[in-house]
Structure 1
Amino acid sequence: MRNAMLQAVAQGVMLQWGWRRAVLAILAGALSSLAMPPFGLFPVLFLTFPVFVWLIDGSVASGPNKRRQELLSSAAVGWCFGFGYFLAGLWWVGGAFLVDAKTFGWLMPFAVMLMPAGLALFHALGAAAARALWRPGPLRVFAFAAGLAAAEILRGYALTGFPWNAFGYALAQTTVTLQLGALVGLHGMTAIAAFVFAAPAAFGLQDAANARGRLLVPALAVLILALGSAYGAYRLSIPEPPATAKRIRVVQPSIPQQQKFDSAKASETLSALLTLSDVATSPQSSGFADFDAVIWPESAFPFFLQDEPAAAAALAALIPDGKVLISGLQRYETDASHPRGYRGYNSIGVIDTSANLVAAYDKTHLVPFGEYLPLQDLLEAIGFRQLTNMPGGFDAGSARAPLSVPGLPAFLPLICYEAIFPGVADRALPRAVWLLNVTNDAWYGDTPGPRQHLLQARLRAVEEGLPMVRAANNGISAVIDSRGRILASLPLDERNVIDAVLPGALPPPPFTRLGVIPALVLVMLFFAGALVWRQAGR
């Protein structure tokens, strides 16, 4: 009876056409965004992915251009699904354009609509690729998984890459399945998610000859989930690594974004940071002197520190001997060969007791349109400029490498959305002992954005087997262990500090050696399964 009802639903979805078909795909995509933070309702994908499959089933045509029309129809379905998914999951990006609404507010509707429209092209490509391998029957789920996973991997690398809300994060919602990141990484988790969540589509068939196949696909999905959960449980059972004995303080100043670069309030901003850095929170935490390092978030200074001797003097008075301040900051270096005469960087700096910059990392993976303008000369000529206050935009740093600081274990620096990319460490360099992510999510306010960003940072800790310290201007600041568990955190918009002992690192997990290889192997296996199934029907 239940199977008959499911078959009726599947048939109804397949037979939709025209605008109803497009609306259904958009709605299915929008509902899929509930699998991501702040909701984390990942079981919804067991409903929406089968609808996606059935819509591709309905991409049928006749006549001399049958093949081409079916591919285009599938691509249209994929685009509509992706548009709904990204519109519902990334609408909060528009908030960045309202921080300086007089200058950028007019761009918000374009950004909110055009970004999902562009990202949806990857899902269009994935759906068309799946249709190219399609053969009616339960094993068409292999084709779906191969096409969608390949498209999502491509999204993570094409142009500058943007793997935000990749479907693999649906499996990161539980601590057990989050551990899959240590084995196959984000892209491997995405490939697994594409197959597992689409598996119920196998039941939406009326062909009695494929009764065995209807059970094979869901059974394989259950087996994959069981094996993944077993691996996760095993990894969680590994003895806890010893802590480093290094004490850190994470400062969350919660400075409103409109104030951060307001020169009239620069003293107020710096004063808040200085006060929080030295505040007493307990008998064991009486101030800066009780910590090996105090950490400030991205772009903490509302000015170039190198041009502000009074601020440097205040830091020298704050930082005790043998201790360091690690802060996000903007800096510049003169360069006569540069069109501006200098290079500007979004950086992490290590500052000693004399207020000297003893080590620095310059962000290498800049945000398009936020930190620099692609085709800058052309776009600036017609009135565009990047959202940051760096004239002409930031320049990219040369490379990311662990920073070694006296008195602290080496750490790998990640600024803002650099933490959304898997494989953050250069395997040719010595391994860091911890990850540091400084960010400023105040651009987006109290929206899903900061919560999605935090989940992605947690997966980086799992992939690398390293603890992460996260300093965010308005939240969500956190100390995360090497299994991705949050040991301490501060909620959005709370001005406060986290005092913690730096957690220990686990041995390098398989992902650190294999990288994207497991994901590609999974895609090839799905592709092979789809190809065998297709050839068997000829």
Structure 2
Amino acid sequence: MSRVSGAVSAFAAWVTLAEGRRRAAVAFGAGALSALAMPPFSIWPVLALTFPVAVWLIDGASGRTRLRSALHAAGVGFLFGFGYFLAGLWWIGSAFLVDADVFGWLLPFAVAGLPALLGLFHAAGFALARLLWRPGWRRVLVFATGLGLAEIARGHLFTGFPWNSYGYALADQAWLGQFASVIGVEGLTYAAIAIFAAPAVLADGRPSRALLGTAFAALAALAAFGGVRLALSPTAFDDKVVARVLQPEIPQDVKSQESARDTVMDAYIALTDEARDPQRRGFADASLVVWPESAFPFLLAQTPAALARIGASLAPGAALVTGAVRGARRPDGSGEADFWNSVYVVGDDGSIRATYDKIHLVPFGEYLPFQSALEALGFEALTRQRGGFSSGDRRAVLSLPGGRRFRPLICYEAIFPEEAAGEERPDFLLNVTNDAWFGRTPGPYQHAAQARVRTIEQGLPMVRSANGGVSSIVDSYGRVLASAPLGERGVVDARLPLPIEPTVFATTHGLLHLLMPAAFLCLVFARKSRV
């Protein structure tokens, strides 16, 4: 043990005393390596190597005043965050190659610009930690508080972007992620930072090592809680609902062409009606059919022939839930129209039974911030919808003909815990998305994994249809019951899992995570401590 401690101490000293380019390289490299904790790699123990490096970098953030030390910490925090987000989000650039003649020039700005903006949150978190810095084991909890608060802010400010929040390193493992049913992924973020930063104390004296044991005990407790919860909770099914979920794998440059309307519609109908075996004969055996986001290169509600074809294909009493663009003329007589990214419920008579309009739109993808100014300069959203999409005005729970109710989540709405919540509790969550923008990259894997955590938080199953992504049916504990591999055309067939009783997270409206930084700081600033 003494040899290990000596080696760690030597390395910690090397990191702490690093200056200039070496210091910048260490911060960037540690951040980039941290991205391996996220899907599709899911090497979560790597954080036990990189977070201690972050602690040691903040140890070395010295200055003549506390403010200068905080600014120094902000610098290494920015580089750590920039490395993390560059390595974890580079795939976003793929979307700019779908229509490369128009958007290709923006690719380097998107690939480097978004990580740089998100890195500012890490800079703020590291700076806050340095302002509150304390020696020994206390600095680990201070680091967890500062970076954790920064991560929560990243998920909420400026419309929010909680993609690859550190809590997903734990939540991606079903047996480690079950405590999300109590504190949510935001609470797991604080836990992950504190647990994986704890090895930093190996470079300290013996009194600090009690924290390392506490961290191991916390990780073991999460694993035990998850293992027991899963073992005692077999999946229950609703025998009245048999779902067929499509993963059509229609290329984005084809799906968006109006000239391909018949080709696209034929592909959906043929794939839905494809017999997989005598028990899965397509439309005839499915009471719920799900097609992905923005499924059509035309306005479905204004295309009676398409609705009639859908109605004629569905079995009696069955329903199609599909993503589609909805359009309507403005009532001001201007002749202009507004458009929404929507979900429709279509009945067996071809009528639209219910509609939901997406609320949480993707900046630059579905709308342009400062729209008038940017459009005047020639910019447009990636969807190439002039004026962008309009936002819906309310969350909704929609009903199927048989009475089952679901909460629709369109695209990246599924990464926001609050979008899956609401006073009106449904029977299941339904996520439609179009990840064909990103091809066979880590993006669709990350999207699917983050959406799955909503089932653990809410205690609700999820049905997920993704074009160019990972389609699946997930039970109320986050167990994937059936799925289609990324990049493969196919369907997912399964009975609908039943919901469970509302979780602690659901009943407390996801607020328990707020207790964690308060508890950390109480421990840090307590006059006497036996840790």
Once the two structures are superposed, residues 199-248 of structure 1 have per-residue CA deviations (whole angstroms, 9 ceiling, x without a partner) of: 0001112xxxx422x22211221221122222212321333353111101
C-alpha distance in 1 between matches for 2:193 and 2:525: 17
- Report the residue type matching 1:410 in the other structure: R
- 2:211 corresponding residue in structure 1: 217
- 2:400 corresponding residue in structure 1: 405
- 1:147 corresponding residue in structure 2: 146
Residue 423 (str. 1) matches residue 438 (str. 2): no
- Report the residue type matching 1:335 in the other structure: R
Provide the secondary structure at the position in 1 that maps to 2:404.
strand
C-alpha distance in 2 between matches for 1:169 and 1:241: 23
- The CA RMSD measured in Å over matched residues stands at 1.5
- 1:249 corresponding residue in structure 2: 244
- 1:460 corresponding residue in structure 2: 454
Q: Which moved more, 1:84-93 or 1:328-337?
A: 328-337
- 1:504 corresponding residue in structure 2: 498
- 1:363 corresponding residue in structure 2: 358
Shift of 1:339: 7.1
Shift of 1:408: 4.5
Q: Which moved more, 1:299-308 or 1:28-37?
A: 299-308
Shift of 1:269: 1.0
- Report the residue type matching 1:2 in the other structure: V
TM-score normalized with structure 1 length: 0.95
C-alpha distance in 2 between matches for 1:47 and 1:249: 43
- 2:112 corresponding residue in structure 1: 113
Aligned ranges for residues 106-505 of structure 1 at < 5 Å?
106-205=105-204, 210-212=205-207, 214-245=208-239, 246-337=241-332, 341-429=336-424, 431-505=425-499
C-alpha distance in 2 between matches for 1:243 and 1:499: 13
| Gap change, CA 1:7 and 1:491, over 3 Å in 2 | same
Provide the secondary structure at the position in 2 that maps to 1:21.
helix
Shift of 1:340: 6.6
Q: Which moved more, 1:383-392 or 1:30-39?
A: 383-392
Runs of 5+ unmatched residues, structure 1: none
Provide the secondary structure at the position in 2 that maps to 1:61.
coil
- 1:38 corresponding residue in structure 2: 40
Provide the secondary structure at the position in 1 that maps to 2:418.
coil
Could you tell me whether the CA contact under 8 Å between 1:185 and 1:515 is conserved in 2?
no
**Share of identical aligned residues, percent?**
49
- 2:21 corresponding residue in structure 1: 19
C-alpha distance in 2 between matches for 1:287 and 1:128: 57
Q: Which moved more, 1:338-347 or 1:222-231?
A: 338-347
Equivalent pairs counted in the alignment come to 526
Once the two structures are superposed, residues 473-502 of structure 1 have per-residue CA deviations (whole angstroms, 9 ceiling, x without a partner) of: 122000111111111110122111111100
Could you tell me whether the CA contact under 8 Å between 1:46 and 1:198 is conserved in 2?
yes
Provide the secondary structure at the position in 1 that maps to 2:245.
strand
| Gap change, CA 1:339 and 1:493, over 3 Å in 2 | farther
Could you tell me whether the CA contact under 8 Å between 1:345 and 1:395 is conserved in 2?
yes
Q: Which moved more, 1:176-185 or 1:315-324?
A: 315-324
- 2:11 corresponding residue in structure 1: 9
- Report the residue type matching 2:108 in the other structure: P
C-alpha distance in 1 between matches for 2:465 and 2:431: 6
- Report the residue type matching 1:216 in the other structure: A
C-alpha distance in 1 between matches for 2:236 and 2:447: 28
| Gap change, CA 1:287 and 1:61, over 3 Å in 2 | closer
| Gap change, CA 1:372 and 1:303, over 3 Å in 2 | same
TM-score normalized with structure 2 length: 0.96
- Report the residue type matching 1:131 in the other structure: R
- Report the residue type matching 1:368 in the other structure: P
C-alpha distance in 1 between matches for 2:487 and 2:281: 24
Residue 76 (str. 1) matches residue 83 (str. 2): no
| Gap change, CA 1:292 and 1:35, over 3 Å in 2 | same
1:51 to 47, 50, 53: 53
Shift of 1:173: 3.0
Once the two structures are superposed, residues 81-136 of structure 1 have per-residue CA deviations (whole angstroms, 9 ceiling, x without a partner) of: 00000000000001111100011000110011110000011100000110011122
